[in-house]
Amino acid sequence: MEGTQLPLLPCLYFLGLWALLNLAFYISKRVRASSATQQTRMELVSPLHLRFTTTVGWVHRLGALWWPPPWFYDLGIVCTFASMTLCTLFLLIAGAQILLALMGRLGLCCVEPTTGGPMWLRPVIPGVTLPNGHIWYYLLSLLFCAVVHELGHAFTATRASITVHSAGLFVIGLYPGAFVDLQKTELDRRPIREQLRVVCAGVWHNAVTALIAWLLMHSGLLLVLEHAGWSQIPDGVAVMDVAKQSPLHTTIPVFSTVYRVDDVWLAPADDGFGSSPIQRWTSVLMNSGTESLGFCASPRENLDDGLCCEMSQEFPLGESPHNDLFCFEHAASNNATMCFIIGDVLVRSRCSVDVDCNKGLMCVRPRAPFPTDSRVVRIYHRLSGRSKMAIYQGSPTRLWLDVSVSVLSPRWPYRLPIWSEHLVQYVLSFSLAFCLLNSLPAWHLDGDHALRLLLSNTVAGDCSLSLSGQAPDSVQSAPALGPVGLRIHSTTTAVATVLLGWCIVGSLGLLVL
């Protein structure tokens, strides 16, 4: 993982937008007063915190349409405690990975700079770890998952006749979210089981949303679009968009069909690269060992300028100022290197050894001595019956992000399949994140409240409340934890909070280093 710099222009846009918003609220004090009606209220809570609050009549109306049986939210209780365990194990492994990676990066204790495997936890920051073009998917899916989470709390609260005072949306910096304001004293008077339903409903809603998104990703979305008139491409993927900053922006035309990458054809085949063109497109770009054969070339074509084979971590593609020159190595000896015009060599006959080539030619392969995920990729595409080959030099992961593809043939609106797919992918990711992280028994998260309720019913708590019993009228507040339960709760919450904080700070530290 290499150090990443914050993009200057998006940061300036972000700061400028919030500066204008603060200026507008400062100049016109009436903005808050005029919107502070009984139904809605918009306020600037802090320089980077905007909140919109409304009454909740619509929550009751939606709840009337969504009224599942009680056992549905009982499943949510089970899901929350299962997710609590999974999230704790996940963060323990991720935290250890981050610690080893930081020690390696800082050169401590003889730890290698890399952990030898993919990181389990990476920060999701638009413009830094995500393409700038994905920011709308990021914001919309994040807001959607937050609303779904809070509706879970609101629906179960109204079902239990607990007053919901208000609900609303907020934006803190770039992070959008939602909230509901429940009558806590009424919640505390309900049976433990009823309280757990309310507390765990948000996590459960996110888990169900993740399941639906997963089903859509696995053929569900494809079936919907096919019924709407799109048709599948049997032997390739359609190019829907190419990022402007990509070197392929003027090379691969939009609406063309990519049917082959390096030596891998995208038509489904039983060779380990996947059973669909989109799976094969992803697999070949993420698999560094796909290019095994070499190319036939003549030693007389060697144009070594003394720089093209000077490869390093800083210059993984060589230091030559001539972009067409690329370093190749002899298939029989990695020490024998030479430089060729890359476009001329990559269209030659394929070979494994020199005898596979004609007399006077040798078998060479593009040289890639550094594990930097940079390599030469050949992309074969066709448009209107004409086939061409494009050559890409760089990170295949970057290529995968910059070139948006679909298994459906283009038709108007031509970007709908890729828009839908990206949005569902983000909803799936954020739903799982909401489900796991909110179930963690860290300070003020849903898992913290759920654990306290469970301990109050099982460990030296108020035994007059049972999971299936009714709360007596004399109960006026949440059941108190006994000494053992309080100790367990405090210790667990402290450990989970520190673990979560370490994973967040450590992953950001790796991003900066």
Reading the block at residue 200, the tokens are: 């765990």
For residue range 89-108, what is the model confidence (pLDDT) as tens digits?
999 999 998 888 888 777 77
Residues 48-54 have a mean pLDDT of 88
Tokens of 412: 């108007």
Separation CA 54–CA 86 (nearest Å): 36
What is the reported pLDDT for 201? 95
Q: How confident is the model at residue 75 (pLDDT cuts 50, 70, 90)?
A: very high
Average the pLDDT over 472-479 and give the result.
42
Report the range of poorest mean pLDDT among 69-83, 108-122, 489-503: 108-122
If pLDDT is split at 50, 70 and 90, which confidence band does 55 have?
confident
Distance CA 430, CA 426 (A): 6
Tell me the C-alpha to C-alpha distance, in Å, between residue 62 and each of 108, 112, 158, 403, 487.
56, 55, 10, 40, 40
pLDDT mean over 428-436? 94
pLDDT tens track for 281-299: 988 888 765 567 889 999 8
**CATH annotation of 231-288+374-409:** 2.30.42.10
Average pLDDT, the chain: 83
Nearest to 357 by CA among 325, 331, 324: 331
Determine the Cα–Cα distance for residues 303 and 325; give it in Å rounded to an integer: 8
> Would you place residue 459 in the very low, low, confident or very high pLDDT band (cuts 50, 70, 90)?
low
59: DSSP letter: H
Provide the percentage of residues in the chain whose pLDDT is more than 90.
29
Q: Is there a contact between 452 and 481 (Cβ–Cβ < 8 Å)? A: yes
**pLDDT score of 318:** 82
Q: Which two tokens stand for residue 211?
A: 């399941």
Yes or no: say if 176 and 170 are a contact pair by the CB < 8 Å rule.
yes
Give the best-scoring range by mean pLDDT among 136-150, 301-315, 359-373.
136-150
| pLDDT at 111 > cutoff 60 | no
For residue 483, say if its preceding peptide bond is cis, omega within 30 degrees of 0: no
Q: How many residues does the chain have?
A: 513
Omega before residue 413 within 30° of 0, cis: yes
The answer to whether residues 165 and 179 touch, using CB atoms and an 8 Å cutoff, is: no
Q: What is the DSSP letter of 301?
A: G
Q: Which has the higher per-residue pLDDT, 286 or 437?
A: 437
Q: Any residues with CB less than 8 A from the CB of 118 and at least 6 apart, and which?
A: none
In the chain, DSSP finds a helix count (H) and a strand count (E) of: 14, 15
Could you tell me which of 100, 125, 98, 115 has the C-alpha nearest to residue 6?
125
Given a cut of 70, is residue 316 above it in pLDDT?
A: yes
Q: Which stretch of 63-77, 166-180, 436-450 has the lowest confidence by average pLDDT? A: 63-77
pLDDT (mean) for 245-251: 87
CA separation, residue 247 to residues 195, 287, 313, 368, 369 (Å):
56, 21, 21, 19, 23
Per-residue pLDDT of 18-27, as tens digits, reads: 898 888 888 8
Mean pLDDT of the 258-274 span: 87
Domain ranges of the chain: 8-218+427-512, 231-288+374-409, 292-372
**Which range (27-31, 87-91, 214-218, 416-420) has the least confidence?**
27-31
User: Span 205-224, mean pLDDT?
Assistant: 91
Q: What is the pLDDT of residue 109?
A: 61
